[in-house]
Amino acid sequence: MLTKWLNNMANNKKDQTTEQRILQAAKKVFIHKGMAGARMQDIADEAGINKAMLHYYFRSKEKLFEVIFREAISNFVPRLHAIFAMRNSLFEKIQVFCREYINVLSENPYIPLFVVNEANKQPYEFLNTMFGNQKPDLSGLLLQIEEEIQKGIIKPISPAQLLLNMMSLCIFPFLGRPIWKFLSGMDDLQFNFLMQQRNDEVASFVINSIKK
Amino acid sequence: MLTKWLNNMANNKKDQTTEQRILQAAKKVFIHKGMAGARMQDIADEAGINKAMLHYYFRSKEKLFEVIFREAISNFVPRLHAIFAMRNSLFEKIQVFCREYINVLSENPYIPLFVVNEANKQPYEFLNTMFGNQKPDLSGLLLQIEEEIQKGIIKPISPAQLLLNMMSLCIFPFLGRPIWKFLSGMDDLQFNFLMQQRNDEVASFVINSIKK
DNA sequence: GTCTATAACTCGATAGAC
DNA sequence: GTCTATCGAGTTATAGAC
């Protein structure tokens, strides 16, 4: 057990357990090709093992996919819930929303494409599973926006549009990354720098737009 | 020929040629399931014809996909090029950019997911084909932003971030549509209304944020 | 042009030796 | 635990009658 744990700590391929190598390979292949496009053979090749081993460890392609997916969102969804449940001033909320969102996605840059694809195929079923049958409650935030407009603190704007704007600004770059790199000619290093910079700037961009 | 043309004009299924019905069905299925997830049987069923007819008209699944895709972007890409090539004031440019972008995508709401997916699989090859080996030139717009900041017309902002913001605000809603519908509880009608409203509001949102 | 039947192939899954 | 070999379901693609 200790040996296994020690092995787990090493990132070196040779020191990884087969199970870990499979998980790492599957993640990569599923992200690039999606559930339908991914082949067990691709995953086996990527992991440098035999196809039969995949079934030995995870029984089926579907189960393997599920493990990957649950691991990916297990850390992600609670943080989303937390963001929507916060009780701060609107400007603070916007700041935390953007920072947390971009941080979470920077750590898991493949999640947006993954989620967007599955959600497009099986919206209700997939998203329900993803959010553990408990969808984040937007109404608190939407109501707060409404109130701040009434009070004259921010400029009039449709609360739904404002929230959609925030989501767009935080999520899109991770979906459009290859397109942006192609158009701008940036390399990975430059793109990552852009994302880091963005972490500070997005909230300001939103707040600048609505503050009086 | 005239008869065929007249047939083309009718949207009624019975008056369409088999070829048209296949294309329409294929579009629908490919959008919902992606290239890998789509089944020729699904397309045949959707078109109300036999599977063999698909091959009679388009030889292979790959060729059919290609036809759908080329048709989809043939109208799309030139308009993108035009947007970047415009010679107006920055605020006018932002307005046209957002309006044109959202208009184009409202007419082809499936393109973003399509492009984002393909671009993630084969960035360079795919995007080059898509843009006809002639990538839109961002530098004009980026330079103009730089200049307006120097002149003190707009607040300081990284030109790249500003452009990425505009793209995010215009494109993301079409990718995140099912997620947004799930979270907000909106139906298709409400969502489409949101997009129409957005057409007017996005440019204002951007301009509000950067104008002094 | 359209259909039925079936060949050819891909891919997930399993059996069984080591 | 790991491998090779192979099965069987599901799919793309084609042959051939009408």
The CATH number covering residue B49 comes to 1.10.10.60
Query: Are A128 and A187 found together in one domain?
Result: yes
Q: B158: which residues sit within 8 A by CB, 6+ positions away?
A: A197, A201
Q: What is the mean pLDDT of residues A59-69?
A: 94
Query: Are B44 and B87 found together in one domain?
Result: no
Query: Are A51 and A6 found together in one domain?
Result: yes
Per-residue confidence (pLDDT) for residue B15, from 0 to 100: 65
A40-52 residues labelled b (16+ CB within 10 A) or e (exposed): bebbbebbebeee
Q: What is the pLDDT of residues A90-127, one digit of tens each?
A: 999 999 999 999 998 888 888 898 889 888 877 888 89
C-alpha–C-alpha distance, residues A94 and A162, integer Å: 10
Strand partners, A111: none
Q: Which residues of chain A between 48 and 77 are close to nucleic strand D, CB under 7 A?
A: 49-53, 56
Tell me the pLDDT band of A145, cut-offs 50, 70 and 90: very high
Query: Are A40 and A87 found together in one domain?
Result: no
Mean pLDDT value across chain A: 89
Per-residue confidence (pLDDT) for residue A61, from 0 to 100: 97
Is there a domain that residue A10 lies in?
A: yes
Query: Are B18 and B77 found together in one domain?
Result: no
B165 and A CB contact within 8 Å: yes
The CATH number covering residue A191 comes to 1.10.357.10
A45 and B CB contact within 8 Å: no
Instruction: Give the position of tokens 């995870």.
Output: A58
Per-residue pLDDT of chain B (212 residues; tens, 9 = 90+): 433 433 444 344 556 899 999 999 999 999 888 888 999 999 999 999 999 999 999 999 999 999 998 888 888 888 888 888 888 899 999 999 999 999 988 888 888 988 898 888 778 888 998 888 888 999 999 999 999 999 999 999 999 999 999 999 999 999 999 999 999 999 999 999 999 999 989 999 999 999 98
Q: A59: which residues sit within 8 A by CB, 6+ positions away?
A: none
Per-residue confidence (pLDDT) for residue A123, from 0 to 100: 86
- On the question of pLDDT at A35 being above 80, the answer is yes
Residue B73 and residue B109 in contact, taking contact as beta carbons nearer than 8 Å: no
Q: Looking at the 3D structure of chain A, how many domains does it have?
A: 2
Is there a domain that residue A184 lies in?
A: yes
Q: Which two tokens stand for residue A212?
A: 């009086």
A170 or A71, which is more confident: A170
Give A9: exposed, middle or buried? Use CB within 10 Å, 0-12, 13-18, 19+.
Answer: exposed
Range of the domain at B1: 1-59
Is there a domain that residue A109 lies in?
A: yes
Nucleotide nearest to B38 (CA to C1'): D11
Q: How far is CA A67 from CA A57, A63, A64, A78, in A?
A: 11, 6, 5, 17
Is there a domain that residue B83 lies in?
A: yes
Domain end, chosen from B59, B82, B97, is at B59
Per-residue confidence (pLDDT) for residue A10, from 0 to 100: 40
C-alpha–C-alpha distance, residues B97 and B113, integer Å: 20
C-alpha–C-alpha distance, residues A141 and A46, integer Å: 44
Q: Amino acid letter at A144? A: Q
Query: Are A132 and A199 found together in one domain?
Result: yes
**Which nucleotides of chain D have an atom under 7 angstroms from any protein CB?**
1-5, 11-16
Per-residue confidence (pLDDT) for residue A183, from 0 to 100: 95
pTM: 0.86
Share of residues in chain A with pLDDT > 90 (%)? 63
Stated in angstroms, how far is B26 CA from D9 C1'?
Answer: 24
Query: Are A85 and A163 found together in one domain?
Result: yes
Query: Are B103 and B123 found together in one domain?
Result: yes
Residue A28 and residue B31 in contact, taking contact as beta carbons nearer than 8 Å: no
3-state secondary structure of A211: strand
- On the question of pLDDT at A210 being above 70, the answer is yes
C-alpha–C-alpha distance, residues B94 and B106, integer Å: 18
Domain end, chosen from A16, A34, A59, is at A59
Instruction: Give the position of tokens 């995007």.
Output: B127
Length of chain B: 212
Is there a domain that residue A65 lies in?
A: no
The beta-strand segments (E) located in A88-188 are none
CB atoms within 10 A of CB A106: 15
Query: Are A75 and A118 found together in one domain?
Result: yes
Give B6: exposed, middle or buried? Use CB within 10 Å, 0-12, 13-18, 19+.
Answer: exposed
- On the question of pLDDT at A33 being above 90, the answer is no
- CA distance between the termini of chain B: 59
C-alpha–C-alpha distance, residues A113 and B175, integer Å: 9
Phi then psi for B89, rounded to 5 degrees?
-70, 160
Query: Are A171 and A200 found together in one domain?
Result: yes
Is there a domain that residue A85 lies in?
A: yes
Domain end, chosen from A39, A59, A79, is at A59
Residue A177 and residue B164 in contact, taking contact as beta carbons nearer than 8 Å: no
Per-residue confidence (pLDDT) for residue A3, from 0 to 100: 41
Residue B41 Cβ under 7 A from any strand C atom: no
C-alpha–C-alpha distance, residues A20 and A8, integer Å: 8
3-state secondary structure of A154: strand
Is there a domain that residue A119 lies in?
A: yes
Is there a domain that residue B65 lies in?
A: no
Residue A201 and residue B158 in contact, taking contact as beta carbons nearer than 8 Å: yes
In A, residues 84-143, which contact B (CB 8 Å cutoff)?
113, 115-117, 119-121, 123-124, 127, 135-136, 138
Per-residue confidence (pLDDT) for residue B14, from 0 to 100: 54
Query: Are A166 and A203 found together in one domain?
Result: yes
**Which residue of B lies nearest to A135 if distances are taken between CA atoms?**
B183
Per-residue confidence (pLDDT) for residue B7, from 0 to 100: 41
**Which residue of B lies nearest to A139 if distances are taken between CA atoms?**
B184
Residue A114 and residue A72 in contact, taking contact as beta carbons nearer than 8 Å: yes
Query: Are B90 and B186 found together in one domain?
Result: yes
